[in-house]
Amino acid sequence: MSHGRLLLLDSASLYFRAFFGIPKTLTAPDGTAVNALRGILDFTSTLTTQYAPEAVVACWDDDWRPQWRVDLLDTYKTQRLDAEGGEADTTEGLLGPQVPLIAEAFGLLGVPVVGAPDSEADDVIGTLAEAWDGPVDVVTGDRDLFQLVDDDRGIRVLYVARGVSKHDVVDNAWMRDRYGIDASDYVDFAVMRGDPSDGLPGVAGIGDKTAAVLLAEFGDLDGILAAAKKPFSSIKPRVRQSLLDSGDYVTAAREVVTVRRDVCPLPDLTGSVDVEGFTAFAETWGLGGVTERVLSALR
């Protein structure tokens, strides 16, 4: 039996967006900042009301920079490290205390919080999207998850880079329109283009347009590299040389960028909202009007 739509939240992507988009002066009665908490609950309320999913899952970064990815590509997310090698705190220490509160709130609302050892939320999202027998919406501001888009299975990305109220619904037509590629080509495209925010240097001289042209001509990264090795390739000499020089990077980065789909089981999605518990929680943390909105959306 197939299911209705599953809504998968890229939790860290959303609570960072909420933290930086909502004033830090929004506090609980005890003075604790609650802007990220209120924001992510508001996002969840808005999207749940709009798309009416059968279930919602908050996908979690149990490891934001897994060692196995670093072993493959030592530049992976290095720009996010502090002097001691931990994750740099760009939030003045105001977001960290909110993260367990966000998990607690989701628990009270009957939304499973799911992480997996040595895995990022992206891997949890890929795994649950693969396991769910029905359509899936992935809520994120992270382009890496475009690789999951699959029209045949009804897997879309609700891309919130411009804000939740202005989010893009990413399907294969959107990918063709924006990048000139199919979603199934996104990993190869991203490896060539690179992504400074994730520490992916890319292949020198290859941006969005060149990557799309190469994929259209040669099919995939394997075909592109094979063409580059031919002495009379149609690839421009400078780009061809960059590809030949980037063999080790390409092999490693492809595995780094590819979202895993085998890291955790599908959680129990039959949980119910603890109205009394969440109402008390909301009063303690001064959640205001979002309380009734999110209760109404998830009941």
Ranges of CATH 3.40.50.1010 domains, the chain: 6-170+261-291
Q: pLDDT over 70 for what percent of the chain?
A: 99
Ranges of CATH 1.10.150.20 domains, the chain: 183-257
Tell me what pLDDT residue 269 has: 93
Backbone angles phi, psi at 294, to 5 degrees: -75, -35
Burial 161-187 (b: 16+ CB within 10 A, else e): eeebeebeebbbebbeeebbbebebbb
pTM: 0.96
Asked if residue 211 lies in contact with residue 200, where contact means CB atoms within 8 angstroms, the answer is no
Residues 183-257, CATH architecture: Orthogonal Bundle (1.10)
Under the banding of pLDDT at 50, 70 and 90, the label for residue 3 is confident
Q: For residue range 252-293, what is the model confidence (pLDDT) as tens digits? A: 999 999 999 999 999 999 989 999 999 999 999 999 999 999
- Token pair 């080509």: residue: 185
| Helices and strands of the chain, counted as H and E runs | 13, 6
Q: For residue range 140-154, what is the model confidence (pLDDT) as tens digits? A: 999 999 999 999 999
Tell me what pLDDT residue 1 has: 53
Tell me what pLDDT residue 197 has: 87
d(CA 120, CA 67): 11
Tell me what pLDDT residue 76 has: 96
| Residue 85 exposure: Cα atoms within 13 Å on the Cβ side | 3
Classify residue 87 by its DSSP letter: B
d(CA 285, CA 22): 16
- Token pair 């890496």: residue: 144
Residues 122-131 have a mean pLDDT of 98
List C-alpha distances in Å: 132 to 5, 57, 70, 91, 268.
9, 12, 29, 35, 12
DSSP H helices, 73-120, are 98-108
Q: For residue range 76-105, what is the model confidence (pLDDT) as tens digits? A: 999 888 877 889 899 999 999 999 999 999
Q: Which CATH superfamily is domain 6-170+261-291 in?
A: 5'-nuclease (3.40.50.1010)
Residues 178-205 have a mean pLDDT of 96
Under the banding of pLDDT at 50, 70 and 90, the label for residue 232 is confident
Q: Which phi-psi region, left, alpha or beta, contains residue 33 (left: φ > 0; alpha: ψ -120 to 50)?
A: beta
Amino acid at 187: V
